[in-house]
Amino acid sequence: MNTDVVLRSFAAFLTAGWSEASSLLNLVDQPDDYLADWTQANWEILVEAVLLPGGTGFLEVYGDGADCNGASSRVFRPEALPTHRVLCAPAQGKPLRDLGDGRSVNPTNMTFWGFVHWDGKTYSARPEFNAVLLEGDKIAILSVEDIEFCLVDI
């Protein structure tokens, strides 16, 4: 399965379900934790299980991960350790630039945190998911139009 297609489909899924999931969060004590659990559970079901079927590997957590299983950031198979990660490679050889400060970004040593919305000044973890957040020595925000998602071994 094409990693880029799967990740873009996941962003579309999050966008489609965000309003409904968010509307239920006023019914719980810790809405941010529940939203993190929801995104992590769906990451494991819709991305990890498609890209690494039958438990052949495990991805790094999505966003802040889940809090539902104690020390593990996973929902299913909490004991599993990541074997693969998502890499945001430059699309069509374009150099990658951080949307915030314009600096050149080398995503090779950065961790894909998740999809975010970039409004031209700041990012937030909500739709429209037009960017990704990468973590490393510094964070970087990249336009989804400038990247291609790849799966690499850890």
The count of structural domains within the chain is 1
DSSP track, 90-108: EGGGPPPB-TTT--B--GG
Nearest-10 crossing angle of helices 31-43, 3-24: 150
pTM: 0.93
Q: How far apart are CA 90 and CA 72, in angstroms?
A: 31
Residue 102: strand pairing partners: none
Question: Which tens digit of pLDDT belongs to each residue from 96-141?
Answer: 999 999 999 999 989 999 999 999 999 999 999 999 999 999 999 9
pLDDT along the chain (154 residues), means of 10: 96 95 82 89 97 95 92 94 97 91 94 98 95 96 97 96
The conformational region for residue 92 under phi > 0 = left, psi -120 to 50 = alpha, else beta, is left
Contact 103, 97 (CB under 8 A): yes
Residue 45 token pair: 């079901």
- At residue 32, the pLDDT reads 82
Contact 86, 149 (CB under 8 A): yes
Contact 14, 63 (CB under 8 A): no
User: Structural domain of residue 138, as residue ranges?
Assistant: 3-153
Q: How many CB atoms lie within 10 A of CB 100?
A: 16
